[in-house]
Structure 1
Amino acid sequence: MNASADSRASKLAALLAARVVPVLRYTDASAAAYAAEVAVAAGCTTLELTWTIPGVTDLLRALRDKHGDALLLGVGTVLDESQAREALVAGADFLVSPALATEAVDMAHAAGALCLLGAFTPTEVLAARRAGVDMVKIFPADTGGPKHLAALKSVYPDTVFCPTGGVTVDNMGAYFAAGASIVGIGSNLYDKAAFAARDTAALVKQIIQTREAAHA
């Protein structure tokens, strides 16, 4: 195994061990930075920072400077080569696309990073597999729900799936039972009132409960 493949293998193991990936989708950079620190305080070891965050690569670098390699940091909503390249230069450990941005796969792997492509249909899952993805993101997950994921898993039993979009602490157990290896949770990870009030203690407690439920 070469160094790049070895790096990807260790990152994949860390990602799978997390079980829950906070997906930070904000249009305000300070809100995203606060959400990131809350997640870290709650014991999260991996974060997905979406491209909607203004200066997302600056936030990635800031988190890396502060937390080092203790955090697995990814950039999501990657749609083209330019975004993929910028994220990788900033030090992203993994790239996530909501669609079949297949050009990102080889770029990520060359940098020792992982790549998760979005798919929804059996045909799209096959295309993602053929592109060499490390994991398939089922998005939007709640459109088809756990039954849809279970159907995909039945024909692609060796594919690692990460449903994202509409996943909550209440329904994630059904997704795991249907074959999810990990789940991505966005705004549902943070109580809206507590977040607006910057009630860090309440938010940390909520995320810890979600993480514990994912590992139960």
Structure 2
Amino acid sequence: MSDASLDIRKRKLATLLAARVVPVLRYGDAATAAYAAEVAIAAGCTTLELTWTIPGVVDLVRALRDKHGETLLLGLGTVLEERQAHDALVAGVDFLVSPAVLPELVPLAHAAGALCLPGAFTPTEVLRARQAGADVVKVFPAETGGPGHLAALKSVFPDTVFCPTGGVTAQNMGAYFKAGAGLVGIGGNLYDKAAFEARDTAALVAQIQRTRGAAHG
């Protein structure tokens, strides 16, 4: 691994950690996901995770990259195989996220100067993710064990950066941070459902800004 690639990854990891809250966008069509992305960006989010389940997500990655350039740290989640990882990296993502430990994704990401965030839940899975060279370990599904589960993992792996995702909300994220989370992933809970349905952009932006403020408080 070249020093240049390592430096790029270090900068990306610093940006990811500084974000504290990563919007995880999982929608049934690209237009809705694009709207959610622009709302988050308008609210000051510098980091986004799209999911492979969005139809045409690779094209959406390219569109966001073309529009926002390097000001946006862009990730792709629900990556389950090498082909998906390859397509995502070619499209220009900065980090790959998987719900499970797939060791083969780590060298692919690192070779492209990207980060890899495998998902883990048990101590054995966390250890496998660490051994594979994970930059961050995504604790998924977070709500199954809650902050107590994260705290137990952090006590055994104190030098691991954890990102709980799945059931994290603006109301409970403080407990996850206290338990040792370096950052959190928040999905649909980041957006008020009624405001989102009405496309009330101003209300949504204000809501996300409040959540981000609380995360940095």
1:32 aligned partner: 33
- Tell me the TM-score normalised to structure 2 length: 0.99
Structure 1 vs Structure 2 CA RMSD:
0.6
Q: Secondary structure at the match of 2:134?
A: coil
Task: Provide the rounded CA distance (Å) in 2 between the counterparts of 1:114 and 1:207.
Answer: 25
The alignment-based identity, stated in percent, is: 78
- Tell me the TM-score normalised to structure 1 length: 0.99
Query: Residue type of the partner of 2:147?
Result: P
Q: Give CA-to-partner distance per residue, 1:102-131, whole Å, 9 cap, x none.
A: 111000000000000000000000000000
Task: Provide the rounded CA distance (Å) in 2 between the counterparts of 1:38 and 1:102.
Answer: 34
2:197 aligned partner: 196
Post-superposition offset of 1:184: 0.1
Tell me whether 1:70 sits opposite 2:84 in the alignment. Answer: no
Tell me whether 1:109 sits opposite 2:113 in the alignment. Answer: no
1:120 aligned partner: 121
Aligned structure 1 segments of 4 or more residues deviating by more than 4 angstroms: none
Tell me whether 1:83 sits opposite 2:78 in the alignment. Answer: no
Task: Provide the rounded CA distance (Å) in 1 between the counterparts of 2:197 and 2:102.
Answer: 34
1:6 aligned partner: 7
Q: Give CA-to-partner distance per residue, 1:147-182, whole Å, 9 cap, x none.
A: 000000000000000000000000000000000000
Query: Residue type of the partner of 2:34?
Result: A
Tell me whether 1:214 sits opposite 2:200 in the alignment. Answer: no
Q: Secondary structure at the match of 1:22?
A: strand
Task: Provide the rounded CA distance (Å) in 1 between the counterparts of 2:40 and 2:164.
Answer: 19
1:93 aligned partner: 94
Task: Provide the rounded CA distance (Å) in 2 between the counterparts of 1:76 and 1:27.
Answer: 15
Post-superposition offset of 1:187: 0.3
1:16 aligned partner: 17
Structure 1 unmatched runs, 5+: none
Q: How many residues align?
A: 216
